[in-house]
Amino acid sequence: MATLHTSGSHRPTIASCVRAATPNDATHLPGVITASLTTIIVVSAFIGGFAGMLFDDVLAPSALAITAGFLGTVTAGATLNSIFSHAWTGERFGTAIDIVTMAAVTSLLGGLASHQIVTATGPIWSGVTGMLAGILSAVLLGTLMTAAHKEEDPVGEDTH
């Protein structure tokens, strides 16, 4: 990891901060994890809600929630990898197979959880069911992606 050089005091200079933000250290910049998690949640909620509206009369409620969560998390993971992370940090948050596998697991859990919530509250519009499935699945996907990304960091390095 790059070290910050100071100019006489204990505070780093702007030039040393810029030099320290190399592509290998880009995920250590402030706000990268927050922005990536926000991207996953917003995209997944939008796509999940749209999928819920699209598959309203086609699928059973539990299958609709799982499908909406899966489509939302796959789209969010692809958006994160193709546009966001590649442009900003220069690295990816996993291969396509990794993201689809994580999306399958998280959409199953998030979709079933959203189905249980909707069942307990009474009849709700299918777009809301899909959006809730997308949000819950995205939170789980973000947790898995963050944990998997933290595992790749060498032991003993500061990951803040």
* pLDDT per residue as tens digits for the range 92-120: 666 778 778 888 888 899 999 998 999 89
Specify whether the CB–CB gap between 26 and 88 falls below 8 A.
Answer: yes
Amino acid letter for position 90: G
Looking at residue 58, what DSSP letter applies?
Answer: T
Percent of the chain predicted with pLDDT > 90: 26
Residue 47 to residue 79: CA distance in whole angstroms: 12
Report the helix count and the strand count for the chain, using DSSP H and E.
6, 0
User: Is the whole model's pTM more than 0.75, yes or no?
Assistant: no
State residue 124 phi and psi, 5-degree precision: -130, 150
Residue 140 to residue 54: CA distance in whole angstroms: 23
The pLDDT mean for the chain works out to 76
Number of Cβ within a 10 Å radius of residue 64: 26
Tens digits of residue pLDDT in 7-48: 555 565 544 444 444 444 554 566 777 777 888 899 999 999
Residue 82 to residue 22: CA distance in whole angstroms: 20
**Position with higher pLDDT, 8 vs 54:** 54
Cα dist. 92→23, 24, 109 in Å? Answer: 11, 11, 24
